[in-house]
Amino acid sequence: MLQKITVMGGVDKNGHPEPIRRLDIHPGEVLAVVGPTGAGKTQLIADIEQYREGEAPTGRQVLIDGHPYAHDPLNPGPRHLVAEVSQKMNFIIDTTVEAFLARHARVRAIASPETVINTVLTVANQLAGEPLSPTDNLTRLSGGQARALMVGDVALISNAPVVLVDEIENAGIDRLSAMAILSAHGKMVLVVTHDPTLMLMAGRRVIMKNGGMHQLHRTTPAEIAIMETLAAREKDISRLRDTLRSGQQITDNVPNKETQETWQAFYCTARSTSAGRSAR
Amino acid sequence: MSLRFVIVAGPPSSGKTSAMLHTIAHLKKSGMPVAACKIDCLETADDRRYRQLGIPVAIGLSEYLCPDHFYAVNLEEVWSWARQQNAEVLILETAGLCHRCAPAVEGCLTICVIDNLVGLETPKKIGPMLSTADIIAITKGDMVSQAEKEVFRDAVETVNPGARVIHVNGLSGQGSLALKRAILATRPLEKITGQALRYSMPAATCSYCAGETIVGGSFQMGNIKKIDFGESESCCKK
């Protein structure tokens, strides 16, 4: 059982040591990787995925339970440690959902494939806006259905202890439920995101800047409160989306307009709690 | 006078050159002198890409000859050329086109490059080029789901259970460090002369080898093999 993944700091794009010198990630933790485009978020994920050993360009070293990954060609170390879900991925195999999941379950030597396949389908249907059937062709799935199926499959069939998630916010699925499903069973989840709700859903977030790990914040109670408000608001939005998509009209019960003060209050709290504080 | 002799083969557009460009860059950073040779059929532009790395580059075009036979008869010459360049690693990239041959040679590190987009049956169809390789580099993994990556890897390992599989991204260079390490871990070869091909080449000695172009039995001489249509013959006579 994997206890810990450690990233030892390397250098940023200018070759200066990155401020965060050590980052430990533990089972059951969700870590958000945030920062502007080009700040090095995806590179950090890639470094972890290939267990960097201090080589260029980032000079980071990745330790598994405190030890460097065994790069011995004769003994290539743990195999199924990391699974990835990204927005760029597509299904390309021309077969049915059911047949494919069965094949994947066989590759992963899963004892009772039928049960797992049913669970994956249930999960996928919970995440996708439109239902997906076991006899659907993989390559004909919509973007949202495909992403939902990938999440269910990574959570239940791949079942790797480390899950890397790259920008699934625009994938057309219920991403908060997706994160909850992925982080279940004591997995370590790293999520690259531009979405404030996902950032605050993580217990910690590492802020990337100019290729380096710049700051590390623990989510404050005030931020958790904001996250809950945002999540509730998103539920309202998604309910509204379903209502409108199903052809209904809204004629009464119009909610009050958002008062600006509420948001100002949020920003003030956010500033006061996170100023100067960076959790280890 | 020893040399790490690395043979890189794979279907067209699988990402052989891209994967090797990143790997060579890593080797150069480690101070390892590298030379590259590309063997192709009619034309190639890959030499330009290799040259951008500032390393010695040679090209061999087989033209009217079977590229695999051309490759085999030039191994000694490629070796001597690389030694003259004072290289300690030679990357010999060859276009595996007919999927009948395998360029793997005993004592050389053979890398087969195959991409995730080719379908689950393809590892079987690629044949000895894949089954005799030491390392199988799987590219374009960023474009398919985690599940397909795992299923495809399994299909590859079924064909060649002894090989080491490395996922490589030819665009970002992800995985090329592992290739570099594998190359550095290869024992240098003292000489190529006398080393054995891991898979025999097909015979090719018929009239078409000599330039015949006309279709028909009376134009065919030499090593001729005809299709056995079995029992389906009777239904055609009706």
Contact between A105 and B147 (Cβ < 8 Å): no
Burial of A87 (0-12, 13-18, 19+ CB in 10 A): middle
Task: Convert the pLDDT of each residue in B111-167 to its tens digit.
Answer: 999 999 998 888 988 889 999 999 999 999 888 999 999 999 999 999 999 999 999
What pLDDT, on a 0 to 100 scale, did the predictor assign at position A268? 54
Task: Give yes or no for a cis peptide into A57 (omega within 30° of 0).
Answer: yes
According to CATH, where is 3.40.50.300 located in chain A? Answer: 1-81+163-249+258-279
What pLDDT, on a 0 to 100 scale, did the predictor assign at position A234? 84
- Residue B51, pLDDT > 60, answer yes
CA distance B14 to B149: 15
One-letter amino acid at A129 equals G
What pLDDT, on a 0 to 100 scale, did the predictor assign at position A31? 96
Q: Which CATH superfamily is domain A1-81+163-249+258-279 in?
A: P-loop containing nucleotide triphosphate hydrolases (3.40.50.300)
Percent of chain B predicted with pLDDT > 70? 95
- Residue B238, pLDDT > 50, answer no
With contacts defined as CB-CB under 8 Å, which chain A residues touch B148? 91-93
CA B78 to chain centre: 15
What pLDDT, on a 0 to 100 scale, did the predictor assign at position A276? 44
Distance from CA of B37 to the nearest CA of A (A): 25
3-state secondary structure of B91: strand
Determine whether the interchain pair A50/B178 forms a contact, defined as Cβ–Cβ distance below 8 Å.
yes
Per-residue burial over A30-66, b if 16 or more Cβ lie within 10 Å, else e, is: bbbbbbeeebbbbbbbbbbbbbbbebebbbbbbbbee
Task: Convert the pLDDT of each residue in B180-230 to its tens digit.
Answer: 999 999 999 999 999 999 998 877 788 888 788 899 889 998 888 888 888
Question: Domain residues of chain B, as ranges?
Answer: 4-185
Helix, strand, coil share of chain B (percent; to 5):
35, 20, 45
Task: Convert the pLDDT of each residue in A91-109 to its tens digit.
Answer: 988 999 999 999 999 999 9
Looking at the complex, does the CB of residue B200 fall below 8 Å from at least one CB of chain A? Answer: no
One digit per residue, the tens of pLDDT, for chain A of length 280 reads 788 999 999 999 999 999 999 999 999 899 999 999 989 998 898 888 877 777 767 889 999 888 887 655 555 556 678 898 888 888 988 999 999 999 999 999 998 999 999 999 999 999 887 889 999 999 999 888 999 999 999 999 988 889 999 877 776 778 888 888 888 878 899 999 999 999 999 999 999 999 999 999 999 999 999 999 998 888 888 888 888 988 988 887 666 655 555 555 555 555 555 444 444 4
- Residue B235, pLDDT > 70, answer no
Q: Nearest-CA residue of chain A relative to B122?
A: A93
What pLDDT, on a 0 to 100 scale, did the predictor assign at position B4? 96
Mean pLDDT of chain B: 89
3-state secondary structure B208-235: CCCCCCCCCHHHCCECCCCCCCHHHHHH
Task: Convert the pLDDT of each residue in B53-95 to its tens digit.
Answer: 999 999 999 888 888 888 989 999 999 999 999 999 999 999 7
| Strand duo B109-115 + A188-192: pairing | unpaired
What pLDDT, on a 0 to 100 scale, did the predictor assign at position A237? 85
What pLDDT, on a 0 to 100 scale, did the predictor assign at position A278? 43
Determine whether the interchain pair A84/B146 forms a contact, defined as Cβ–Cβ distance below 8 Å.
yes
With contacts defined as CB-CB under 8 Å, which chain B residues touch A107? 150-151, 154
With contacts defined as CB-CB under 8 Å, which chain B residues touch A46? 172, 174
3-state secondary structure of A65: coil
Q: Which CATH superfamily is domain B4-185 in?
A: P-loop containing nucleotide triphosphate hydrolases (3.40.50.300)
Contact between A222 and A273 (Cβ < 8 Å): yes
State the ipTM, two decimals. Answer: 0.78
Determine whether the interchain pair B144/A89 forms a contact, defined as Cβ–Cβ distance below 8 Å.
yes
Q: Nearest-CA residue of chain B relative to A87?
A: B143
What pLDDT, on a 0 to 100 scale, did the predictor assign at position A166? 86
What pLDDT, on a 0 to 100 scale, did the predictor assign at position A5? 92
Write the DSSP assignment of A102-117 as a string of letters.
HHHHHHTT-S-HHHHH
